[in-house]
Amino acid sequence: MTLRVDDLRVSTGGRRLVGPVGFTVEPGRPLVILGETGAGKSLIAQAVMGSLPRGLIASGAVSLDGARVDALPRGAREALWGRRIAILPQEPWRALDPLMRNLSQVAETHAEVAGQDWAQARTLARADLADLGLGAQAAAARPGQLSGGMAQRVAFAAATAAGARTLLADEPTKGLDDARRNDVARLLRRFVEGGGVLIAITHDIAVARALGGDVMILRDGEVLETGPSERILSDPQSDYGRALVEADPENWPFWTSTAAGAPVLAAEAITVGRGGRALLGGLTFALREGARIGVIGPSGLGKTSLLDTLAGLIEPMSGRLLRHGAGERPLAVQKLFQDPPAAFAPLATLAEQFRDLARRHGLVPQAIPALMQRLGLAPELLDRRPAQVSGGELQRLALARVLALRPAAILADEPTSRLDPVTQRNVMAVIGEAAEEAGAAVMLVTHNGALAQRWAGTVLDLARHAVAAEGVVVQTPERASAA
Amino acid sequence: MTTAMARAARWTIRPAAAQSLGGLILGRLIQALIVALVVGVVGFAMLESLPGDAAYRIAAGRYGHDMVSAAAAEQVRAELGLDRPSWVRLLAWVGHLLTFDLGQTAVTGERVVDAIAHQLGHSVLLAALAVGLALLIATPIGVMAGLNPGGLFDRITGVAAILLRATPAFLLGVVLILLIAVRMRAAPAAGHAHGASAFLPALTLGLVLASVLTRVIRNAVVRTVSSEAFQFARHKGLSTGAALWRHGARNAAAPVVAYLGVQTALLLEGVVVVESVFAWPGIGHALTHAVFERDVTMLQGTALALGLSFVLLSFLIDLACRAIDPRTRG
Amino acid sequence: MTAPGMTTGVGPITLGGMRPGRVIGLVGAGVIVALTITGPDLVGYDPARQNLRAVLAPPGTAGHLLGTDHLGRDMAARILGGAQLTLGLAALAVGTAAAFGVSLGMLAGWRGGWTDRLLGAFADGVLALPGLLLVMLLAAIRPDSWWTLYAGLSLTLWVEFFRVARQRARVLTAGEAVQAAELLGLGRWHIVRRHLWPDLAQQVLTLAAFGGATVVTALATLGFISVGLRPPTPEWGVMMSELLPSWRSAPWAIAAPILALATTVLCLRLIAGEETEA
């Protein structure tokens, strides 16, 4: 069983979007297509599957086990779906039917596609789910009641139940935190080791590293290089490949802390909670001038609530929050948000938004242009609305907005998790340098452990109740039980 | 984009807000109480604004015009304390209404309860026929338009729906009357085709309901078929038919049924208007008559019956939503 | 970067970012409003003046552009008089409803707590009865009263504005953009002006057009079934009910208010768009 693609191109209205792309994938050796958003990665999967949206045209050859499938009539092509070739969707919690129980979504593939009778189909589905570590409770639940990782496993079972041994996984880890990303990688790894043919499409180098096999680097629809994973990920030849690999937080240099200054914001045994429910308890630490603290932990632990508490947006449920020195000024604690476009007024131009800020706080007229120049931002950007500016630029604009108020502490909530790796690298570097110049403390919340380890001087792992070092005193934080 | 999201958010906020069954029942009971209060206050205000001695009018309302005597009026005066301040009388009046003693109509002296019981049958028949017709018209058209959005059929039915919806219900009724009259070469009796046939009024109301319902169904089908869930079902290997049946029908039905809840208001307004235009002897017709003739007891009875039907229908739709979409269960 | 050219060519054809339906509706409504403002003066007749020697005259007779009605009154003057009455009521009722609905909705959605609960309960109370029924009941207290209709229609209409404004204010003030603005100390006025209002403006226009159509329809409906304004007021619904008996001898007479009503409602609905998404 082999999947072979030759000279594949996808175009619309005469404009080429992807290609030419060619590769062969054998059982047991996956191909990882690596590239940033908008590089046309998903189009390759759709072209192989034969499910491109109307208006997009594919050319080239796609062969399954030596037989051309791209020229098949539509009905015959669709007959391969589920039986020979399957797709693992992005964000499976949206791809599963929200109204149907998980078991039925797997069982119906056995029944409707593989032709089993329904009783048998349900038995098989139950076994499939159990095999993936999903018990009777998860089987009886609906997708909305599952975590992202569990939903991905249900989708995997549903997609492959009719015997497809060729799997196209399209951004299978999108929106998942480190631990769940590793779960999905293990799931795919197991499929490959069982003799499956796998193409994984991702922007995450960690997924590529975990899966092994071959890697293809794609940019603007063009293949830059292809080769064994070990070689490409350690010694890429193309400029973009090098940038991509260097941008992987695993390859960042460690930040060496300069001497931390006086404390600006201190938490004394605070309990963080939202809506009357305690999330994190017994946290004691101090944010010092020029210090960086990285906060990691799985989703849903209360990382954002911790930042909101420090910013004064919600009250701590117990304990004290103290501001010292520069931290005592009003507006001394500022925040950077995860989704840059969501942090600006969407319908006003950036110029209007900065003008409001300057007027309100009596800033000197040159302050904003000077800051923008310092952060490498073109002045023309101001004429646009937030949606017309790239995520990386917008996050730097958000930083400029925050720096204009000379903050003592900057709380950054996953500021780069929506950015592609190269941009992430740049933005994190800019945040670090600018904060250092301004003498501001930074608390960075991230789901990426490697990034936190290298970018911040100190790491506070909320999951492991960890205690860390210089500039911070952390008492063992406990996961408070629901009040 | 923001508006589209806001719109989506608005539709989901009511039907999809998870609520316990107890909370749902309580909410609808409160709504019923508000209906009774509004009706009672309006009845009271009408009574106060009428000329003449209130005690006589109320006695006439309760016992019929022939039975009114000075003694009966005095009894009413004493019982309701008509010399008390108006807010006390208002409370007494509304309190009396809550005992469901609706009294007699000022015009014929018939007991209001009997009159309403008789009219209710006509109104239910009209409403059921209209809803049936609307579903019969809207479902196939909506589904066909939704399966091929942007196609010729979709565009033609879309324009037709807009034109139809822009025609007020009474106007549609008038136009239908005139068209039929021209066809039959028979003059409609003073414009009101006398309540012989249920067909024209039901068709009028059915078309009004269908005009919106068609597009609601069409949009629900479009959204369902273009959803990632539907696409994934196809990629699992399900045929289009199987995917539509197993994943399309129920997912598309959820917003449609939720929308029917919104449409109950349109249905009841339509019942009032269409019955009045066609002189269909139902509750809506009786209500307009009561308003016109300033018949307080009849007005209260009919308004209460319509208002409580509205509450009951809304509750039934709530239950249907819960049955279809388990996420709305608290 | 999101290339500005990416989205054009996808979706329905638009003119200056507007649906063609909305453009047609706006143009039509513009013409109707211009005619309305000029009013009966345009045709030089008093809509109330009877001339029993020229009843049900066909259009064009003796300077009567649209003919006369069963009492010899000039139809064109009556249509325009009706337009002033109808559109004036619509504008005032929708304006009142929008002003109260949007401001109270923003307040409720932003402040939350008891403000939200009280205002929300009031809105639910208004929704306890179908809107037209509520207006009818209020109209029953004082028949043939413009002010009662105005109050009743404003009362039923404000809820939609309130619900939308509250919902958006709730979402937006809990969102990151407003949180950021608060942390940056930008103040409430900035939040209303840059965040809440721009988000709501489009929907307020849509709801206002729907509201206008609702008022025009309700007024004519109530007039036609004799529970709204009454003769001799030149109101379109009243006129239809007066002219229906003579439809066979003078079909043009009843056609005039029918067309006036239908075009006005159609234009307003075209501006509003499909209500399944409103």
pLDDT for A63 beyond 70? yes
Instruction: Assess A108–B contact: CB distance below 8 Å, yes or no.
Output: yes
Host H or E run for residue A441: strand A441-445
Is B15 part of the contact surface with chain A (CB cutoff 8 Å)? Answer: no
Residues of C in contact with A392 (CB under 8 A): none
pLDDT score for A116: 85
Task: Find out whether A434 and A402 touch, Cβ atoms under 8 Å.
Answer: no
B303 vs C133, C167, C221: nearest CB: C133
Phi, psi for B214 (deg, rounded to 5): -55, -45
- Look at residue B58 and tell me whether its pLDDT is greater than 80: no
Identify the bridge partners of residue A320 per DSSP, sorted by sequence position: A268
Q: pLDDT at residue A127 above 60?
A: yes
Task: Indicate the pTM of the whole model.
Answer: 0.81
Cα-Cα-Cα-Cα dihedral of A358, A362, A365, A371, to 10°?
-60
Q: Is the pLDDT of residue A90 over 70?
A: yes
Per residue in C210-221, pLDDT tens?
Answer: 999 999 999 999
The answer to whether A293 contacts chain C (CB < 8 Å) is no
- With beta carbons less than 8 A apart as the criterion, state whether B211 and C265 touch: no
Give the pLDDT confidence of A171-209 residue by residue, as tens digits: 888 777 777 888 888 889 999 998 889 999 988 888 888
Residues of chain C contacting A353 with CB distance shorter than 8 Å = 194
Domain boundaries, chain A: 3-251, 263-475
Residue B52 confidence class, pLDDT cut points 50, 70, 90? low
pLDDT at position B184: 66
Q: DSSP readout, A266-285?
A: EEEEEEEEETTEEEEEEEEE
- Report the gap between the CA of C105 and the closest CA in chain A (Å): 19
Spatial CB neighbours of C69, under 8 Å, sequence gap ≥ 6:
C55, C56, C75, C78, C239, C242, C243, C253
Name A60's bridge partners.
none
Nearest CA in chain C to A392: C1
Query: Can you tell me whether residue A365 is helix, strand or coil?
Result: coil
DSSP states of A317-340 as a string?
Answer: SEEEEEE-GGGGSTT-EEEE-SSG
Can you read off the two tokens belonging to residue C21?
A: 């339906």
Residue B152: predicted pLDDT: 92
A343 vs chain C: nearest CA distance in angstroms?
Answer: 4
Q: How far apart are CA C81 and CA C229, in angstroms?
A: 14
Cα torsion B120, B126, B129, B131: sign: negative
Task: Give the pLDDT band of residue A259 (cuts 50, 70, 90).
Answer: low
Tell me what the pLDDT averaged over chain C comes to.
83
Q: Residue B124: which residues within 8 A CB-CB, separation 6 or more?
A: none
B166·C278 Cβ contact <8 A: no
DSSP alpha helices (H): ranges in A21-117?
41-49, 74-80, 92-95, 102-108
User: C194 and A348 in contact by Cβ < 8 A?
Assistant: yes
Distance CA C274, CA B212 (A): 8
Residue B186's pLDDT is: 53
Q: Which residues of C239-256 are buried (b: 16+ CB within 10 A; e: fewer)?
A: bbbbbbeebeebebbbbb
Residue A468 pLDDT grade (very low, low, confident, very high; cuts 50, 70, 90): very low
Query: Which among A330, A342, A390 has CB closest to C177?
Result: A342
Give the torsion through C-alpha atoms of A444, A446, A449, A455, to 10 deg.
Answer: -30
Q: Does C97 score more than 90 pLDDT? A: yes
Q: How far apart are CA C157 and CA C129, in angstroms?
A: 13
pLDDT the model gives residue B2: 30
- Per DSSP, what are the bridge partners of residue A274? A277
A257 or A312, which is more confident: A312
Distance from CA of B159 to the nearest CA of A (A): 25
**Touching subunits for chain B (3+ Cβ pairs under 8 A):** A, C
Q: Any CB–CB contact under 8 A between C138 and chain B?
A: yes
Query: Which residues on chain C are in Cβ contact (under 8 Å) with B38?
Result: 125, 128-129, 134, 137
Min distance A147 CA to chain B CA atoms (Å) = 16
Angle at A254 between CA A250 and CA A257, to 5 degrees: 150
Pairing relationship of beta strands A409-413 and A318-323 according to DSSP bridges: unpaired
The sign of the CA dihedral C233, C238, C239, C241 is negative
Residue B81's pLDDT band (cuts 50, 70, 90): low
In contact, B134 and B274? CB cutoff 8 Å = no
pLDDT surpassing 90 at residue B137: yes
Instruction: Give the model's pLDDT for residue B214.
Output: 92
Sequence letter at residue B120: L
Would you list the DSSP string of A26-48?
-TT--EEEE--TTSSHHHHHHHH
CB contact under 8 A, A347 and B234: no
Distance from CA of A95 to the nearest CA of B (A): 4
pLDDT at B314 over 50: yes
Distance CA B235, CA A95 (A): 10
pLDDT at residue number A150: 85
Matching CATH number, A3-251, of 3.10.105.10, 1.10.4160.10, 3.40.50.300, 3.30.70.240: 3.40.50.300
The lowest-confidence range among A374-388, A405-419, B62-76 is: B62-76
For residue C180, what is the nearest residue in chain A, using CA coordinates?
A: A343
DSSP state of A383: G
Q: What is the mean pLDDT of residues C36-58?
A: 76
Tokens of A299: 């989703």
Can you spell out the DSSP letters for C13-35? Answer: --BTTB-HHHHHHHHHHHHHHHH
Number of helices and strands (H, E) in chain B? Answer: 14, 0
Percentage of chain C lying above the pLDDT 70 cut: 92
Q: Which chains reach chain C with 3 or more Cβ–Cβ distances below 8 angstroms?
A: A, B
For residue C227, which of B202, B120, B277, B305 has the smallest C-alpha distance?
A: B277
Q: What is the pLDDT of residue B192?
A: 43
CA distance A351 to chain C (A): 12
Q: Which of C124, C140, C244 sits opposite B299 (nearest CB)?
A: C140
A356 touching chain C per CB within 8 A: yes
* CA dihedral (A41, A44, A49, A50) positive or negative: positive
Q: Are strands A222-228 and A214-219 parallel, antiparallel or unpaired?
A: antiparallel
Q: How far is A164 from chain C, CA to nearest CA, in Å?
A: 35
Q: Torsions phi, psi of A27, nearest 5?
A: -60, 140
Sign, CA torsion C93/C98/C104/C105:
positive
Q: Tokens representing B206? A: 């059915």
Q: In what order do the strands lie in the sheet with A57-64?
A: A15-25, A3-12, A57-64, A67-68
Q: Which domain holds residue B247?
A: 1-330
Q: How many domains does chain B have?
A: 1
Q: What is the domain-level CATH number for residue B168?
A: 1.10.3720.10
Residue B150, pLDDT above cutoff 70: yes
Q: Pick the residue of A352, A353, A384 with the most C CBs within 10 A to test the interface with C by mutation.
A: A353
- Measured CA to CA in angstroms, residue C139 lies from A283, B280, C132, C144 at distances of 64, 22, 10, 7
Backbone phi, psi, residue A341, to 5°: -60, -25
Q: What is the pLDDT of residue B18?
A: 58
Q: What does the pLDDT average to over B69-97? A: 72
- Angle B257-B261-B265 from CA coordinates, rounded to 5°: 145
As a whole number of angstroms, the distance between CA B153 and CA C277 comes to 20
Nearest Cα neighbor of C70 from C261, C240, C237, C226 is C240
Cβ distance B258 to B14 under 8 Å?
yes
Mean pLDDT (whole number) for A401-420: 88
> Which of the residue ranges A171-185, B65-79, B315-329, C87-101 would you say has the lowest mean pLDDT?
B65-79
Least confident range of A113-127, B83-97, C121-135: B83-97
Which stretch of DSSP H or E encloses residue A461?
strand A458-461
Q: Give the model confidence (pLDDT) of B156-190 as tens digits.
A: 998 899 888 888 888 898 888 888 777 665 544 43
**Dihedral of CA B42/B43/B45/B46: which sign?**
positive
Residue A74 has what pLDDT?
84
Which residues, numbered 50 to 109 in chain C, qualify as contacts with chain B under a Cβ-Cβ cut-off of 8 Å? none
Question: In chain A, positions 323-352, which contact chain C (CB-CB < 8 Å)?
Answer: 330-331, 333-335, 337-339, 342-348, 352
- Look up tokens 């996956």; give the residue: A30
Higher-confidence position of A284 and C158: C158
Residue C21: predicted pLDDT: 83
- Which residues 161-220 in chain C show a CB within 8 A of chain A? 175-177, 179-187, 190, 194-195, 198-199
Q: Whole-angstrom Cα distance, residue B223 to residue A143?
A: 19
Minimal Cα–Cα distance from A311 to chain C, Å?
Answer: 8
Instruction: Tell me which H or E stretch contains A207.
Output: helix A205-211
Residue A478 has pLDDT above 50, yes or no: no
Task: Give the integer Cα–Cα distance in Å for B270 and B254.
Answer: 24
Domains, chain C, with CATH or none: 80-273 (1.10.3720.10)
Q: How confident is the model at residue C191 (pLDDT cuts 50, 70, 90)?
A: very high
pLDDT at residue C3, as a whole number = 34
Q: How far apart are CA C58 and CA C81, in angstroms?
A: 19
The pLDDT value recorded for residue B292 is 84
User: What's the average model confidence in pLDDT over C112-139?
Assistant: 88
Give the model's pLDDT for residue C81: 87
CATH, domain A263-475, list 3.40.50.300, 3.40.50.10490, 3.30.465.10, 3.40.718.10 = 3.40.50.300
Q: Do A346 and C186 touch (CB under 8 A)?
A: no
CA distance C192 to C169: 9
- 3-state SS assignment for residue A18: strand
Contact B307 C128 (CB under 8 A): yes
C10 to chain A, any CB pair closer than 8 A? The answer is no
Distance from CA of A390 to the nearest CA of C (A): 4
CB contact under 8 A, C225 and B175: no
Task: Report the alpha-carbon distance of residue C267 to residue C23 in Å, rounded.
Answer: 10
CA distances from A50 to A24, A43, A114 (A): 17, 10, 20
Tokens of A222: 């063009």
- Testing the interface with C: which of B170, B183, B205, B271 to mutate, by most C Cβ within 10 A? B170
Per residue in A294-347, pLDDT tens?
Answer: 888 777 677 888 898 998 888 888 888 888 888 888 888 999 998 888 889 988
Specify the pLDDT at position C62.
Answer: 72
Q: What are phi and psi of B31, to 5 degrees?
A: -60, -45
In this chain, the answer to whether the domains covering A3-251 and A263-475 adopt an identical fold is yes
Q: Rounded to whole angstroms, how far apart are CA atoms C84 and C90? A: 10
Query: What pLDDT, in 10s, does the model give residues A346-395?
Result: 888 999 999 999 989 888 878 888 889 888 888 888 999 988 888 888 99
Per-residue pLDDT, averaged over C54-72, amounts to: 74
